[in-house]
Structure 1
């Protein structure tokens, strides 16, 4: 018989170290003091490095957005910056520090406000060339025309309120239902028609889009206008 393996024991905090794998089964360790020395100084400023054309940044680089607002003493300068960026159609590339981490970001006007969006660094983006599939060589003109028709049928202005967070809505309904001791009705699940042929699938999508467009054009309930 083999002796029983010793029971696993928690590692004391004093024995826990931070490390980075530089090769298989080989790590370089660093201590908290060294990491503190590398951290940037705390700062409440945003350092602008460059202005670029508003269309120069591929959206793939955008990460998280925040509203940036000025302190009262700087409202005039803030307004001047908003006007200048709108007039020149430029956005600012900048740096700022948040929770002892330095972030690359973009500043862009949004009405009379400014939106600060953190950016991924170039080495954090996987080159598309490593993933792009080959372009199909055997597509017929009829297939291309049908695909273009589908796109045109579904085209329209972007209205974010049309795309609510359905999971959040269902979770809210579940919570409210539990609170009222009533179970909410299960949400319906949309399923495709199982069409395998490309042309048939595109045709079905066009017809579905047309029906949806007609349904939106004729609302079932007319909203009453508010009077003064």
Structure 2
């Protein structure tokens, strides 16, 4: 957990950072193909031509001439960096001005002791204006650009890539001219597919990998999913996709109607209705 100060002009309040996400990667290991045993990576010292224990491994800075300057944790703690313990807000910009390609790792930025009121004020002010704070902060031994944005009554600190870390796409973008009819059909297709619940989408890689392992162990076959063929006739593909999307939407509506509980008809009464006197 990182703890420090958030500085906005002359306003300074204590905050704490907490990791906001957890990934569940399916890890593959390096093995010796001949016998399937795991491959180890050992710490080897070139100068002494021998393997060294973990306790003798440290951090260092390599000079242009190849010499290494050892840097201990105590040395790094004395690093003369203003953002080492301070999230320094540089300014505020509209949220949409930050290109998502720059997004790094998100952290929850919670208030420190005695900072509840100032913290709540900043969260609400950002939420009302639609602005985010652009800041600098030192995390994991390096200074990073970051943004602060409100989410569910809290601040999210999202690290950003520096501009020189973004690669220029060059001439990858196509320059093919498009017709008005093609654009019209493409917009219709987008509208037909509008609406998706991200929480309902799941990672199928782990299941597919388990199927592959089972097939390898049993010696059985494994059916490969069919790859879609390129749609060379763009107009025909757009029209067919729209028709399929509409049919799917109509079927979903019919299924929803059938799932609804049927209303019980009101009982009919005979005779005269009595009056309250």
**2:240 paired residue among 179, 197, 204:** 204
- Gap regions ≥5 residues in structure 1: 1-9, 21-26, 179-185
Determine if the alignment matches structure 1 residue 159 to structure 2 residue 192.
no
Deviation of the 1:31 alpha carbon: 2.0
Counterpart Cα distance in 2 of 1:49 and 1:14 = 46
Deviation of the 1:143 alpha carbon: 2.4
**2:132 paired residue among 84, 91, 101:** 91
User: 142-151 or 212-221, which moves further after superposition?
Assistant: 212-221
Change (3 A) 1:66 1:33: same
Deviation of the 1:148 alpha carbon: 2.0
CA deviation vs aligned residue, 1:156-204 (integer Å, no higher than 9, x gap): 3x53113322224556x76xxx8xxxxxxx8983643554211122122
TM-score by length of 1: 0.68
Change (3 A) 1:208 1:53: same
Provide the secondary structure at the position in 2 that maps to 1:68: strand
Change (3 A) 1:143 1:13: same
**2:93 paired residue among 26, 36, 52:** 52
Q: Is the 8 A contact 2:144 2:162 kept in 1?
A: no
Change (3 A) 1:194 1:57: closer
CA deviation vs aligned residue, 1:8-66 (integer Å, no higher than 9, x gap): xx95255698658xxxxxx6535243696695659443222211122221111112212
Change (3 A) 1:133 1:97: closer
Q: Is the 8 A contact 1:104 1:118 kept in 2?
A: yes
Q: Which has the higher helix share?
A: 1
Provide the secondary structure at the position in 1 that maps to 2:111: coil
Deviation of the 1:118 alpha carbon: 0.6
Counterpart Cα distance in 1 of 2:258 and 2:69 = 62
Equivalent residues in 2 for 1:95-110, closer than 5 Å: 95-110=136-151
Counterpart Cα distance in 2 of 1:73 and 1:79 = 12
Deviation of the 1:117 alpha carbon: 0.6
Deviation of the 1:144 alpha carbon: 2.6
- Which structure is larger by alpha-carbon Rg, 1 or 2? 2
Total equivalences in the alignment? 200
**1:122 paired residue among 163, 187, 193:** 163
Deviation of the 1:223 alpha carbon: 9.2
**1:12 paired residue among 13, 35, 45:** 45
Q: Is the 8 A contact 1:40 1:101 kept in 2?
A: no
Equivalent residues in 2 for 1:45-84, closer than 5 Å: 45-84=86-125
Q: Is the 8 A contact 1:40 1:102 kept in 2?
A: no
Provide the secondary structure at the position in 2 that maps to 1:47: strand
Counterpart Cα distance in 1 of 2:138 and 2:173 = 39
